[in-house]
Amino acid sequence: MTSRERILILFLKEMRDALRDRRTIFTMLFLPVLLYPLLIVTVIQMHRMHARSARQRTLNIGYAVRDPTPPATAAAIDASLIRRLDGLPQVAARAAPEMEAEARGEVVDGKLDALVIFPRDLADRLARLEQTEVVVFVDEAESRSNEAGKLLAELLRDVGKEALTSRLTALGHDAAAAAPLLVRTENVATPEKMGGYLLGSLFAYLLLFVTMLGAYYPAIDLGAGERERGTLETLVVSPLERWEICVGKFLAVFTFSTATAVLNLLSLAATFRYGLALGKQGADALGGLGLRIDASVLALIPLMIIPYSALFSALMLFISFFAKTFKEAQTYLSPIMLLMLLPMIAMMLPGTRLSPVLIPVPVLNLCLLFKDVLVGKGTVLGVLGVIGTNTAYALLLLGLAMRAFTSESIGGGASLRAALWRSVRRLPPADVAGGQS
């Protein structure tokens, strides 16, 4: 029997054993099949409920008049302004208490969503085009108050523009002089590009995290789990070479990790398409994304995931080999998972782009490549550089795992630090396992 046949038999055996583990099945099936649809549907339904309540609620806005110093003999506040305030959609305007502290207290207590205080001679000041301060009080910790403050700010800007336009017209000037510079900003990005930009960070974060999670439990179970159950020694004394055992276990972990990534990719695509199929509210809840991604981009995603999956499968299996129990393996691997989240967070920093300097950085390079590919800015050099780098790291870690597994330290439960050092230095087995007798 050739080495390839022996590795295949061991691979099928490890796959069968891992599929009996409920934690592995939960990670592979529950997350992609149930969690993502549940999250998307929940977000859409919450957005619908928020939109419905926003249409039904009324914003309470109070207004008060502040006497100028010194008192002016001008007319009282323009009643038309109050009528316009009261005429705003979903707004109920009323006079606030005359004392400013008491009026502000109603905003603090939530009786008013916003408060606006005018000078008593506002009408005359507007007619003379004098700069006039109008104070708006809001509670920025409340969404209703922020919404009311935005409505007031927009109304007051319109009033100021109308006063300026009216004054220019009275002087015989063109009303357009009130705004001599008209600035218009147009977004040249297509909906697909905007969708790729917005999805780049979230999509890469979720997909890479679940790919890493897909290797987590199988690696622990096939390494420390077998040692704890006493079945690892049975494999070691079998006719299989130790490197064949290591390769068979790696292929099993790699298969689970890749399968988890593919299932999550399909689930994400299906749930986002479902959200968009619900119409405008579904699209708004998902940020108005355009998900018409080019087929070549979709084909690149699994190609980029495979080296990443191999990298973490080799890393987690390598570390799991040195743990004596399942819990000890979790202790070793949990900080690794947290550490790998740092590059994903760095990806979200503004201005972070894939460059020749960042291509050798594992995890971060793939996150940045995802963003570039989804917005249509991926380059052949970037794709080949990231895939080649992650493949090299995966092969290096797999070589270290094979070198460590072929030593006697695996069977003797040597310390992780000593085993790691010997794996790199290729010291004789007696240097680590000498204390077993």
Q: What is the C-alpha to C-alpha distance for residues 118 and 418, in angstroms, rounded to an integer?
A: 76
Q: Which long-range contacts (CB under 8 A, 24 or more apart) does 16-19 make?
A: 17/221, 17/222, 18/218, 18/221, 18/222, 18/252, 18/256
CA angle 278, 280, 282 (to 5 degrees): 45
Binned at pLDDT 50, 70 and 90, residue 393 comes out as very high
Q: Which of 383, 392, 203, 193 shows the shortest CA–CA distance to 307?
A: 392
At residue 292, the pLDDT reads: 54
Q: What is the C-alpha to C-alpha distance for residues 224 and 241, in angstroms, rounded to an integer?
A: 19
For residue 358, CA distances in Å to 202, 208, 251, 308, 405 come to 20, 17, 29, 16, 32
At residue 26, the pLDDT reads: 73
Higher pLDDT pick, 356 / 37:
356
pLDDT at 414 over 50: no
Q: What is the C-alpha to C-alpha distance for residues 385 and 354, in angstroms, rounded to an integer?
A: 10
Q: What is the C-alpha to C-alpha distance for residues 306 and 304, in angstroms, rounded to an integer?
A: 6
Q: Which residue matches tokens 């055996």?
A: 13
At residue 389, the pLDDT reads: 92
Radius of gyration of the chain (CA): 33
> pLDDT tens digit string along 25-54?
776 767 666 776 777 677 767 767 766 666
Which of 13-17, 236-240, 325-329 has the highest average model confidence (pLDDT)?
A: 325-329
**β pairing state of 135-138 and 114-119:** antiparallel
Q: Average pLDDT in the 285-308 region? A: 66
Q: Average pLDDT in the 210-216 region? A: 85
Binned at pLDDT 50, 70 and 90, residue 56 comes out as low
Rounded to two decimals, the pTM is: 0.66
CB 252 within 8 A of CB 11: yes
Binned at pLDDT 50, 70 and 90, residue 55 comes out as low
pLDDT at 400 over 60: yes
Count of other CB atoms within 10 angstroms of residue 330: 16
> pLDDT tens digit string along 222-267?
888 888 888 877 777 778 888 888 888 999 999 988 888 888 877 7
pLDDT at 14 over 50: yes
> pLDDT tens digit string along 149-200?
888 888 888 888 888 888 778 777 776 766 777 778 887 777 666 666 666 6
> pLDDT tens digit string along 87-124?
777 788 888 887 778 888 888 888 888 988 888 777 77
Which two structure tokens, joined as six digits, stand for 397?
Answer: 């870690």
Which region among 108-117, 376-385, 388-397, 411-420 has the lowest average model confidence (pLDDT)? 411-420
Q: Which of 251, 281, 307 shows the shortest CA–CA distance to 54?
A: 281
Q: What is the C-alpha to C-alpha distance for residues 232 and 321, in angstroms, rounded to an integer?
A: 10
State what percent of residues in the chain have pLDDT above 90: 5
Residue ranges and CATH numbers for the domains of the chain are 3-47+190-406 (no CATH), 58-178 (3.40.190)
Binned at pLDDT 50, 70 and 90, residue 277 comes out as low
- The amino acid present at 176, given as its one-letter code, is A
Which two structure tokens, joined as six digits, stand for 381?
Answer: 């050099």
> pLDDT tens digit string along 119-140?
877 777 777 777 888 889 999 8
Which two structure tokens, joined as six digits, stand for 127?
Answer: 């007619």
At residue 416, the pLDDT reads: 46
Q: Which residue matches tokens 């499968």?
A: 313
CB 339 within 8 A of CB 362: no
In eight-state DSSP terms, residue 27 is I
